Chains A and B, each alone.
Chain A
Amino acid sequence: MAVAQRTALPAQRGAGWNKLAEKIVAHAFLIVISVIFMVPFFWMVSGSLKTGVDLNAFPVVWFPKTLTLENYIAGLQVFPFARYLFNTLVICAFSMLGAALSSSFVAYGLSRIEWRWRTPLFVVILSTMMIPFYVTMVPLFTMFRAIGWTDTYLPLIVPHFFGVPFYIFLLRQFFLSIPREMSESARMDGANELVIYWRIILPLAKPALAAVALFQFLTSWNDLLGPLIYLSDADSYTLSLGLTFFRSEYSSQFGPLMAASTVVVIPVIVVFFFAQRTFIQGITLTGVKG
């Protein structure tokens, strides 16, 4: 940081120079940092396409001369990508549905209806975000085991059907910005709250709901601790969990490891590129404005 300021300072002499120097320095930094940020991804893809000789070559081979798919073939023989992908998608889909439905439902009650408990309840819900996961982790596990839910996806899905505080916060903000008149006129026509929620508010909240769904997709896709605790049958593993065990068994074989990682990373990058705008809006929307 200090470097950037020092190099930018002399440019104050003229307004034109100032602008130009600022731009040049900024671009130089942006490009260098971009390269640093992208190197691991490049390394992952190139590593996955390298032959054994190139992988262990010294000095390092940046651009492999011969490209090979053998790592993918070897990796996918022990790493049942299709099955893990399916498992992960099932968990993601139900969690997204549950989180978006229940959180918007609760947020409606905390923003569009005026009743005595709405502010205290909102404060309580928000403050539960402060409780670290590790405090509830062990009792949740013993409870889910007692009701026979371990080795199923239920512990990873069902809690999302009871409202997620962060999403409730986000959707409540959004609902508060919808003018009162929108629901008032429907109420005059005799619509009850359920109808107003479903027919008026939800359609208007599509961008916020999309942001919630995306957040939940990434959270479920990336989750390791949950599947690690609850899933012990190898057939029910998620991608993250499968990759972890793959890593501990094949820790010295970088080729197949990189191939498996590439296969896990690529779908997320594709989703992100298509949903980038919604996603970044979702984050800035939640803001932390004082």
Chain B
Amino acid sequence: MTATSAPSTRAGTRSSTRRSARTPQQRRNFFWGLVFTSPAIIGLLWFTAYPVLVSLYYSFTSATMMKPAEWLGLGNYESLGSDSAFWNSLGNTLYYIVVSVPLGIAVALFLAILLNLNVRGQSIYRVIFYLPAIVPLVASAVVWLYVFNPQYGVLNTVLGWFGITGPGWLASPEWAMPALIIFSTWGAGNLMIILLAGLQDVPQDLHDQAKVDGAGVFRRFRHVSLPFLSPHLLFALVTGLIAGFQFFTPVFVLTNGTGGPAGKTLVSGLYLYQNAFQFFKVGYASAIAWVLFIIVGLGTALVFRLVGRRVYYGGA
């Protein structure tokens, strides 16, 4: 990667002598290196290392917002096992991730391919597709309340044109989660831009050559573009998984912070928030955070295991 300093000489200096024996140049660089990175080092300790350790400690205690912590050992984790709301939230989160991540990638990929076709007005389309991703989530969620309205909403009106009686969306236990997924997919613009950047890296002469050999649109995509896109797709999968577990703002706004109807949209992020900031159960909330963290870690490792080896890292 970026290890530009000669490894042989460095290893030699490190093993035999101490810092003071280095050249003045090296000492000066070390000093300035520390100066420049000191904000990040302080930030790392203050805003990451310290809270991570405290959170781990809290998860073994009965801490609340008002009461100091009392050691519970694995008590919180045991309670989680029999907490049906927790399992429900985990199930809802998995439902959300399993549907929304592949759907989001498929839509983003489709849009990126369309935008890569070099048609007229490309920049206008690009802005239109990207707009939902940059508009404040809270505001667009409020707007979608109106879109999803069973009677006066756009969605059911349009479905009505095709003779379909639309469901109650956010008011209906079965359709509330699909509604949230539709809303998320509408904002797939960020991913689209990343995939578009990947598509633009595909060498054009490879494409032309495949064309001469008689490969159709589909085969050209499968055998030429896809290998170049695979790192981007892996990135999309992993970040989608992590973001899926942190899904919060749309549920909070669209369900008014309740996770309703009938708890069908109570996702893990919301349940965690409720425990910490509504029930003030800091210890319990921390245990939830760590269980989620472990699941995310395992999930990411699994993705790398299953998909990672199929990824092609082009020319570089």
Nearest-CB distance from A19 to chain B (Å)?
A: 10
Query: In the complex, which residues 1-59 of chain B have their Cβ closer than 8 Å to any Cβ of chain A?
Result: 1-5, 10, 14, 26, 29-30, 32-37, 39-44, 46-48, 50-52, 54-55, 58
Does A290 sit at the interface, judged by CB under 8 A?
yes
Is B162 in contact with chain A by the CB < 8 A criterion?
no
Which B residues touch A59, using CB under 8 A? 157, 160
Cβ proximity bits A20-62 to B, threshold 8 Å, 1 near / 0 not? 0011001101100110011111011001000000011111100
Q: A26-B117, A128-B44, A134-B292 are in contact. Are A290 and B39 (CB under 8 A)?
A: no
C-alpha spacing A139/B153, complex, angstroms:
42
Residues of A within 8 A of B131 (CB): 37-38, 41, 269, 272
Q: Does B240 contact A (CB under 8 A)?
A: no
Mask: chain A, 151-172; 1 = CB below 8 Å from B; 0 = not: 0000000010111000010000
Q: Which of B37, B114, B290 has the most CB of A within 10 A?
A: B37
Q: A105 vs B41: C-alpha distance in the bound complex, in angstroms?
A: 12
- B146 smallest CB distance to A (angstroms): 5
Q: Is there an interface contact between A106 and B37, defined as CB atoms closer than 8 Å?
A: yes
CB contacts (< 8 Å) of A273 on chain B: these are 127
A284 — nearest CB in chain B belongs to which residue? B197
CA distance A131 to B242 in the complex (A): 9
Contact partners of A119 in chain B: CB under 8 A: 1-3
CB of B136 within 8 A of CB of A132, answer no
Contacts A30-B119, A132-B293 hold; do A55 and B152 have CB atoms under 8 A apart?
A: yes
Q: Does B145 contact A (CB under 8 A)?
A: yes
B313 touches A27 (CB 8 A): no
A264 near B36 with CB under 8 A, answer no
Is the pair A106, B39 in contact by a Cβ cutoff of 8 Å? Answer: yes
Point out the residues of chain A lying under 8 angstroms from B201, CB to CB. Answer: 289
A53 nearest CB across to chain B (Å): 12
In chain A between 145 and 189, which residues have their CB closer than 8 angstroms to a CB of chain B?
159, 161-163, 168, 176
Return chain A residues, CB-CB under 8 Å to B285. Answer: 138
Chain B positions within 8 Å of A113 at CB level: 29, 32-33, 36
Whether a CB of chain A sits under 8 angstroms from the CB of B311 is yes
Contact B40 A121 (CB under 8 A): yes
| Interface stretch of the complex, out of B71-79, B84-92, B172-180, B249-257 | B249-257
Provide the residues of chain A in CB contact with B232, threshold 8 Å: 288
Q: How far is the CA of A168 from the CA of B146 in the complex (A)?
A: 40
Residues of B within 8 A of A193 (CB): 32, 35-36
> B106: nearest residue on chain A (CB-CB)?
A1
| Chain B residues within 8 Å of A23, by CB | 117, 119
B289 to chain A, nearest CB (A): 5
B164 within 8 A of A: no
Q: Are A108 and B138 in contact (CB under 8 A)?
A: no
A133 and B253 CA atoms in complex are apart in Å by 19
Bound CA–CA A290/B201 (angstroms): 12
- Closest approach, in angstroms, between the C-beta of B102 and any C-beta of chain A? 12
Check if B282 is an interface residue, CB within 8 A of chain A.
Answer: yes
Complex CA distance for A114 and B131, rounded to whole angstroms: 41
A30 & B125 in contact (Cβ 8 Å cutoff): yes
Residues of chain B from 194 to 229 with CB closer than 8 A to chain A in the complex: 194, 196-198, 201, 216-218
Known: A34-B128, A37-B186, A159-B43. 12 other contacts (CB 8 A): A1-B106, A26-B114, A59-B160, A102-B43, A116-B33, A131-B293, A161-B39, A192-B32, A254-B145, A257-B146, A276-B127, A287-B194
